[in-house]
């Protein structure tokens, strides 16, 4: 399973969250990891918020010593075909 995946749905967040050092707007997305039967949610980085889209192929970005990825970024692969992730919406 994974670590790369496909953005299935997403939202643009325009409200600054307390205790979260991230500039707004930013994107939170559901990501279907390759081979997984359900999507996880994570922040998308490395791309302008208005360029994120369903089908975008992404990979995790880790910080040293972290148990979970800091965010996901585009892989540069072509977008996934809708039929490959529609059951995970």
Angle CA 53–58–60, to nearest 5? 140
d(Cα 89, Cα 84) in Å, to the nearest integer?
11
* Distances 18 to 15, 23, 42 between C-alpha atoms, Å: 9, 12, 17
Indicate whether 17 pLDDT > 90: no
For the entire predicted model, the pTM comes to 0.93
pLDDT in tens, 29-64: 999 999 999 999 999 999 999 999 999 999 999 999
């Amino acid at each position: 399973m994974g670590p790369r995946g496909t953005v299935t749905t997403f939202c643009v967040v325009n409200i600054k969250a307390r205790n979260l050092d991230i500039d707004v707007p930013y994107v939170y997305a559901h990501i279907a990891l390759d081979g997984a039967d359900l999507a996880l949610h994570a922040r998308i980085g490395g791309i302008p918020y208005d360029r994120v889209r369903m089908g975008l192929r992404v990979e995790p970005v880790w910080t040293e010593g972290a148990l979970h990825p800091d965010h996901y970024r585009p892989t540069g692969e072509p977008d996934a075909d809708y039929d490959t992730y529609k059951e995970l919406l």
